[in-house]
Structure 1
């Protein structure tokens, strides 16, 4: 008798769940919006979760899906939640720039309490705190500040050159030795960030597996667990606290918090200034304390504790990772395209002759072909393959004239940066390395809002100019005395890591450096 009652109950529950899911995943059909058909529970993320291809290729597959072709946007599901994938450049402009105030937050987020250094930095902060922190950090990246930073960056560049010239040759006849380009470039950018931002010597070239390098590597080393953490951060952020996931793992958090707090305390005690990030953070802290003392704090954002450390941590992690990736992908493409490398080295040689052998900021900024190369590298290998936003409008946001659909508050929006960069409609022969796409003349002909390696609009990367500067200095010092070529371990066609949401090469970038000084 009990079994006879139990089985129909189970059947009713199953049927109820089935109809609930049918209705839930029929959201876009009811809205009259073209959708990419989802799978139950995972939505349209099965390609990402299977790790059969990289996140960049996954987002390209969505963008190039037959049901998405010729559509300005399509409806998708990120797990259970309806979301929008943008495809039309003018619509991207509308949401990212023109109507930024209604899409001022990223959808992605980390755990505010469990991961304070990961969640409270300018990348993940929400409005209105984001705007206030951004405004206060902006002075660090002015032209005057970059001018003060340059001697410090140049010193690390000279250390890189000395480090390479001390390497034993693996092949005496060819005067060459093998390198893993990403790790080499990360040693350089780690030292740059440590000295420029914190006034600390990280000594990555002289100290094997230095603390700064080891903890920096831990943030972007994509194991299966790290892949799961970043997937939830970008696609299911509300569950991040439940699983205890973090953008900045526990050990790097403890090391960076201790280091930054120590440097700030020493700087406050000595009253010395270096015009670096630490000085700016101390000023944040001082202004907050003054407001408290005078009772004028009101609704002002409080700059103290981990909110200060979080900005310094983001500058370190984002600064060393994105620039080292750009440099290493540039070396890979230069090794495969020797005629382009020859033209670049010729440009560097002429500039060095003009500057009497000195690497100066003016000399670096005169390297137009190097700038074109970096633009093209970032087209092919943008650090983050997609951007995300969240609708924050109190009233549903109209997508007219593209569609009658109105975006409700809280709906995530995804912009497929990598897919746009690789769309032959905008960049013919997209897999071919062609720096001429970004010559001063051709740059003006490129379709606006199809190129976004540093993001777009007010949320664009605050450190873009700094990132270019340190990458240029590093490449100039590397190429000044060395030619880069492929080795037996170099990939014929770049394979991206299937676990890494931040673009990384599968198995590293293995190249050969040949002693070949420019003689300047």
Structure 2
């Protein structure tokens, strides 16, 4: 009996092992080199422990193979992925061969039944639906429309200053949480610009908007477990669909949007014209043109909201961190801004905010060093043959996940000498940022046809907030803030492990 039990146990272990390793020959059969995968984690060593961000596992592979190949085969659990380790090949994925890598991997996880909001975001949409949605949304984010809401930006900047003065008077020894402060700024800014509503983020009694915004991007363990399950059992994605946006958050924003729409229509009904041509006006015009119902309106509205909250707040807080660590660069930026302030006023006019080269360089260097999305996961949508430097050409089959590790390119010493240092001067030469982007060595907002729609709006908000803070305050890292740039292991959008805590001092 004991021998039978032992034999059955060994058989079960053997079958279990075979199940987790049966397709580990996938890339060898296709003549694509790569590191040997582990039984349960593939090439993501920290898949279960979450001791460090996945991008660091990829960076180890990148550094080992980059001199010989353009791409290598890796595994997320049992799921084969192609890791792009050549910026030139990454450029092909995003631009020249876009038709073969049209969609983002997240599209295979969700549908309208599981997550209506995220399924209708341009980031998740595929094929012709994506093309139509992008064509619909893009006219709502023109520079003329961004200029129209710029006075709102200045008002929110003043609220930010008043809030900071209050925090300084309170004198917390732990400093100010720069990410929360930045999120208050973007929630106030975007909610007003898009819906014409006040989030009251800088008051003692904020509306529930701020709390729900945090819930939008909280990486729950249920999501992490979902991705682990898919890595080991890829077929489950056809049975279990993912919800990124919690149900209660979706319901809250439906009510919020309805209130904003009703308020705007009530104004128009009594002949009162709203004081600006904002994004909500554009959405309402689009709704009439497309005959959208309430949920359809929400889908378009959330495109503007989702893309403006977290990513912008992340870049702003990381920019402040780098300036806090580098006092001489903070002073140089302050000098540039002061020389361009509007006469008799403490803000910079809209036309001039794009003409601050050192501010632009500081933002680009922050995005290089700490990209908001450390990597992109694309889907092969049309089979294609690709070169592989010292290796043979190979076929990428439809449905293959293609990983582009932006962080690896951005911190490569061969592309950026002293890559871990904050050196905005890299981007002071004319066309420097453009040159790096065209080499696929700087991709903070993506590239090609799927480049971020809200990039110009986000950059305007980041610059306005930076101008306000740098001209009114000196700031340095609080001892609570770590001295390295280690990413939060579970973060979807880049954040510093342990948070960003800064000490502010009002300028005379």
Both structures adopt the same fold (TM-score exceeding 0.5): yes
How do 1:234-273 residues align onto structure 2 when only pairs under 5 Å count?
239=236, 245-271=242-268
Do structure 1's residue 215 and structure 2's residue 212 form an aligned pair? yes
Out of 72, 79, 95, which is 1:81 matched to?
A: 79
Partner of 1:90: 88
How do 1:212-361 residues align onto structure 2 when only pairs under 5 Å count?
212-228=209-225, 239=236, 245-271=242-268, 274-289=276-291, 303-352=292-341, 356-361=345-350
Deviation at 1:356, TM superposition (A): 5.0
Out of 187, 190, 193, which is 1:190 matched to?
A: 187
How do 1:99-498 residues align onto structure 2 when only pairs under 5 Å count?
99-109=97-107, 110-112=109-111, 113-169=113-169, 178-228=175-225, 239=236, 245-271=242-268, 274-289=276-291, 303-352=292-341, 356-393=345-382, 396-400=383-387, 402=389, 403-441=392-430, 442-443=432-433, 446=436, 448-498=439-489
SS of 1:333's partner is: helix
Q: Higher mean Cα deviation, 262-271 or 426-435? A: 262-271
- Distance in 2, matches of 1:231 and 1:451, equals 29
Q: Which runs of 5+ in 1 are unaligned?
A: 290-302
- Over the aligned positions, Cα root-mean-square deviation in angstroms equals 2.9
After superposition, the Cα gap between the structure-2 partners of 1:85 and 1:19, relative to the gap in structure 1 and judged at 3 Å, is same
Conservation of the 8 A alpha-carbon contact between 2:82 and 2:401: yes
Do structure 1's residue 499 and structure 2's residue 494 form an aligned pair? no
SS of 2:503's partner is: strand
Normalised by the size of structure 2, how large is the TM-score? 0.89
Q: Which runs of 5+ in 2 are unaligned?
A: none
Deviation at 1:31, TM superposition (A): 1.4
Conservation of the 8 A alpha-carbon contact between 2:384 and 2:395: yes
Q: Higher mean Cα deviation, 37-46 or 179-188? A: 37-46
- Distance in 2, matches of 1:401 and 1:167, equals 55
- Distance in 2, matches of 1:26 and 1:404, equals 18
SS of 1:352's partner is: coil
SS of 1:182's partner is: helix
Number of residues paired by the alignment? Answer: 497
- Distance in 1, matches of 2:100 and 2:303, equals 25
Normalised by the size of structure 1, how large is the TM-score? 0.87
- Distance in 2, matches of 1:502 and 1:32, equals 34
Deviation at 1:11, TM superposition (A): 6.5
After superposition, the Cα gap between the structure-2 partners of 1:401 and 1:52, relative to the gap in structure 1 and judged at 3 Å, is closer
SS of 2:308's partner is: helix
- Distance in 2, matches of 1:448 and 1:483, equals 36
- Distance in 2, matches of 1:48 and 1:160, equals 39
Conservation of the 8 A alpha-carbon contact between 1:121 and 1:307: no
Conservation of the 8 A alpha-carbon contact between 2:103 and 2:379: yes
- Distance in 2, matches of 1:10 and 1:178, equals 57
Conservation of the 8 A alpha-carbon contact between 1:326 and 1:378: yes
- Distance in 2, matches of 1:358 and 1:235, equals 53
Deviation at 1:212, TM superposition (A): 1.1
- Distance in 2, matches of 1:490 and 1:17, equals 44
Conservation of the 8 A alpha-carbon contact between 1:55 and 1:500: no
Residue by residue over 1:23-63, the C-alpha shift from the partner in whole angstroms, topping out at 9 and shown as x without a partner, is 41111111111022112343223323321112332332332
Partner of 1:297: none
SS of 1:76's partner is: strand
SS of 1:267's partner is: helix
Q: Higher mean Cα deviation, 159-168 or 90-99? A: 159-168
Conservation of the 8 A alpha-carbon contact between 2:104 and 2:379: yes
Conservation of the 8 A alpha-carbon contact between 1:202 and 1:210: yes
Conservation of the 8 A alpha-carbon contact between 2:314 and 2:493: no
Conservation of the 8 A alpha-carbon contact between 2:342 and 2:349: no
Q: Higher mean Cα deviation, 488-497 or 467-476? A: 488-497
Conservation of the 8 A alpha-carbon contact between 1:86 and 1:414: yes
After superposition, the Cα gap between the structure-2 partners of 1:63 and 1:6, relative to the gap in structure 1 and judged at 3 Å, is same
- Distance in 2, matches of 1:399 and 1:353, equals 53
After superposition, the Cα gap between the structure-2 partners of 1:502 and 1:168, relative to the gap in structure 1 and judged at 3 Å, is closer
Conservation of the 8 A alpha-carbon contact between 1:56 and 1:501: no
Conservation of the 8 A alpha-carbon contact between 1:43 and 1:79: yes
Residue by residue over 1:98-140, the C-alpha shift from the partner in whole angstroms, topping out at 9 and shown as x without a partner, is 1112211111134321211122211111111001000110011
Conservation of the 8 A alpha-carbon contact between 2:385 and 2:393: yes
Deviation at 1:340, TM superposition (A): 0.3
Partner of 1:513: 504
Deviation at 1:231, TM superposition (A): 6.6
SS of 1:440's partner is: coil
